[in-house]
Amino acid sequence: MSETGKYFENKVAVVTGGASGIGLALCEGMLAFGAKRVVLADINKERIDRETARLEGKYPGKVLGLICDVTNEKNVKDMIAKSAAFGEGRLDILFNNAGVGLSGLFEEQTNEAWQKAFAINFYSAVYGIRAAIPIMRAQGGGHIIDVISGIAFSPMPEQTMYSATKAALNGLTLALRYEYWDENICFTSATPGTTITAIWGDTKPPEGAQTAAQSASKILEGVSRRERLVLGDDNDVQGAINCFNPAMAEGNDAYFLNVARKRRSGEWIV
């Protein structure tokens, strides 16, 4: 078995946003590696029922689907408690994966819209982390992975909400990595790279976008090495290297200004 497979073998894992896209691919990947139990947490009952039944057929007794509104702290606490019970008291891995892509002009976005954006893309992870830490501490350790986005390193015009929420989540995750290091609770930030999922809505994904399974495979490999930051594709690597590099400031200004002008004219480029 690969080193990645060994890491997930016999683990109990929870994935929010686990009934579709990258979340579902993460669940399938861990089950294929021999995870003991995997919980698909999602707000969409139809998808939960369908995908749980399908995976239960392949991995009997190893799959649980739970409906969860991740913007509601009590819902998240209850979901984590039920997941640990399903795992016979253990919770080894938590993927805070649920989130939404957000776009629009800043002046047209209300404070209420900003609060909703942070509720799903940031506070949902805070709730999951708070609920999981006591369980992981009691069992001697665990691993929490927060799925961010390359936009955290390449903040895009007309995507202020998405940029801000994912940057905040990345900052939280990397700070917590050292706060809990000595308790053997590992924290990892992971970008999926440019991936073909429902997050694109009616917009066609860029050429070269990878599948959810490809993205999940890269994330799981990096997680198995307990990496600080897992970068899903070459664009995310370059963004992480260059975006805050003072030597690249002039080039970054030129690139992002071109994006802003193109988008303002109606051409959605990335």
What are the tens digits of pLDDT across the range 20-75?
999 999 999 999 999 999 999 999 999 999 999 999 999 999 999 999 999 999 99
CA-closest candidate to residue 190, choices 135, 132, 164, 229:
229
Q: CA–CA separation, 89 vs 153, rounded Å?
A: 37
Residue range 225-252: average pLDDT?
Answer: 94
Residue 148, domain member (yes or no): yes
Give the CATH number of the domain where residue 212 resides. 3.40.50.720
pLDDT class of 198 with cuts at 50, 70, 90: low
Residue 251 lies in a domain: no
pLDDT of residue 199: 62
Q: Is residue 263 part of a domain?
A: no
Mean pLDDT of 130-143: 98
Question: Is 190 among the domain residues?
Answer: yes
Q: CA-to-CA distance for 150 and 156, rounded, in angstroms?
A: 10
Structural domain that includes position 57: 3-243
Q: Is 219 a domain residue?
A: yes
Residue 106, in any domain of the structure: yes
For residue 180, is it within any domain? yes
Edge to edge, the sheet with strand 63-67 lists 63-67, 37-42, 12-16, 93-96, 142-147, 185-190, 229-230
- The single residue of 127, 162, 180, 255 carrying the catalytic annotation is 162
Least confident interval from 22-31, 167-176, 200-209: 200-209
Residue 217 lies in a domain: yes
pLDDT at 194: 84
Residue range 79-100: average pLDDT? 97
Measured CA to CA in angstroms, residue 238 lies from 25, 193, 219 at distances of 25, 11, 17
Query: What percent of the chain lies above the pLDDT cut of 90?
Result: 87
Q: What is the mean pLDDT of the chain?
A: 94
239 residue type, one letter: G
Say how many domains are in the chain.
1
Average pLDDT over every residue of 107-114: 96
Model pLDDT, residue 270: 75
Residue 52's alpha-carbon distances to 106, 177, 213, in angstroms, are 39, 31, 17
Asked about 162 being catalytic, the answer comes back as yes
Q: Is a pLDDT exceeding 70 seen at residue 229? A: yes
Least confident range of 49-58, 87-96, 259-268:
259-268
Give the percent of the chain with pLDDT over 70. 96
